[in-house]
Amino acid sequence: MARSRGSNRPHLGVIFWIAAILFISILLMFKLPSIREVLENTGFVEVVFENGPSREPSDGERSRRDEAVREEAPLRDTTDPSALQDLLVPGSPSPSGEEDAPVAEAPRDKATDKATEDAPQQVLEVSPPPQPTEEERPVRTSQSRVYFIRVTDDGRIRAEAVSRSGPATRSPLTKALETLISGPTAEDLDKGLLTLLPEGTRLLSARVEGGVAYLSFNEAFRFNSLGVEGHLAQLQQVVLTATTFSTVEAVQILIEGQQMDYLSGDGVYIGRPLRPGDFRG
């Protein structure tokens, strides 16, 4: 008998909880609208379901949000013309009663624009000053004196200077000696001037050291058909022509670059430098 009473107690507990759950469910069904409104007003639903799926707000939610926006938005000062201008619809008159006149563009000439586009770009070119040509450049000239021979009526041989002009050169001594070797011009011959330099004479080299001009001639310079008188005349022509230059005081005759004692076998001594005074008798 005692076992039957103890076994009925669990059944009564289960029935109690079932009845409590049914009572709470019925109560929630009647109070659900009120509970839902409280949860929405307190924001409990938004906090719990903010990361959940979005849903369309209800009419009550829209009205409450609009009121909150109106309360938080600052009032626009309608007395400020610039503020009113922002509210104006384009084309409507301004608060001052004047319409904003459109800015008119200046008429453009299409032909002028086309010509400007097609016109080539002008580039300013600076030309260098014209350089004088070889013909226009002034030619520097130099004067020199060469000595030819005049034979007097009484048979004496005398050296006579003739002026020569020509383009300036860096080797005026060599130029003067080459002019001497080339002989007198037709005008000089008409005046009775001649040269006693042996035919075929050539100047091989010329240098000046310590006031002495070292002149090297070819082998033809050694032989003169007029003998001793001819040798003395040709040496006088060379020495007098070379010493017209201020840097030359004496002349050393060389044959093929070698110093010799005599010209030919007639005893005309050339073993030392010769000066103009050696030919004055």
**DSSP letter for each residue of 102-131:** PPPPPP--HHHHHHHHHSPPP----PPPPP
- 247: pLDDT strictly greater than 50: yes
Could you please report the per-residue DSSP string of 164-202?
A: EEEE--S-HHHHHHHHHHH---HHHHHTTEE--SPTT--
Q: What is the mean pLDDT of residues 4-17?
A: 66
Who has greater pLDDT, 264 or 112? 264
Q: Which pTM does this prediction carry?
A: 0.52
* 224/263 Cα distance (integer angstroms): 9
As a whole number of angstroms, the longest Cα–Cα distance in the chain is 202
pLDDT at residue number 12: 77
> Residues with Cβ < 8 Å from 212, sequence gap 6 or more?
248, 249, 250, 251, 252, 273
Tell me the pLDDT tens digit for each residue of 12-68: 778 888 888 888 888 777 777 777 776 677 766 565 555 444 555 566 666 666 665
- 6: pLDDT strictly greater than 70: no
Q: How many CB atoms lie within 10 A of CB 117?
A: 7
211: closest CA among 169, 177, 258, 252?
252
Q: What is the mean pLDDT of residues 229-248?
A: 96
Highest mean pLDDT among 27-36, 96-105, 123-132: 27-36
pLDDT at residue number 1: 45
Tokens 């003395």 — which residue?
Answer: 232
pLDDT at residue number 266: 66
* 85/93 Cα distance (integer angstroms): 9
User: What tokens appear for 232 in the block?
Assistant: 């003395």
- 8: pLDDT strictly greater than 60: no
